[in-house]
Amino acid sequence: MSETEVHALFDRMFPLGFSGQDVLDEIAPEGWEQSPLLACFHPSVERVFEERLMFHRTTEGWRQLARKRQGQTIEEQPQPTLEDVKREYKPLPVEANEEVTELVGMCLWDVFSDNHDVIAADGRVADIGTFRGASCEC
């Protein structure tokens, strides 16, 4: 399929756009702000803490390993605490249109990439191109 035909395919799939009301009705029938998918863009402070803790443990492990290889010992850096994260945490405003568009785009990329062949109704392969090329068009 040509690029124009792929665009027409997306227009048929998403007549109101990637974040149109039809898409919202399917993925977030109670509204975007009440959807569990909102956490993809607005993690809870507890989730942010878990991620910071995992990051700290990973980097601290690599740091200690590098020092051991050099025959040095160093003090371990203190782990972040939930209180630290709560103090620094600033929730971002919800931008439903942009967030839903990004989520749908990521899902489409997963479907159309990674060596998957998407076959249109007429039997032709719908190819959106390379990551670099496709990312500029969506």
Distance in angstroms (rounded) separating the CA atoms of residues 57 and 99: 30
Residue located via tokens 């405003």: 93
% the chain with pLDDT above 70: 93
Q: Is the pLDDT confidence value at 88 over 80? A: yes
Is the Cα torsion angle 26, 96, 49, 107 positive or negative in sign? positive
What pLDDT does residue 103 have?
96
Q: Is the pLDDT confidence value at 80 over 50? A: yes
Are 38 and 94 contacting, i.e. CB atoms less than 8 angstroms apart? yes
Distance in angstroms (rounded) separating the CA atoms of residues 42 and 103: 13
- Burial string for 22-33 (b: 16+ CB within 10 Å, else e) reads ebbeeebeeebe
What pLDDT does residue 138 have?
45
% the chain with pLDDT above 90: 54
Burial zone of 93 (CB within 10 Å; 0-12 exposed, 13-18 middle, 19+ buried): exposed
Diameter over CA atoms, the chain: 66
Q: Is the pLDDT confidence value at 74 over 80? A: no
- What's this model's pTM, rounded to 2 decimal places? 0.72
Q: pLDDT class for 129, splitting at 50, 70, 90? A: low
Q: Is the pLDDT confidence value at 105 over 60? A: yes
What pLDDT does residue 83 have?
96
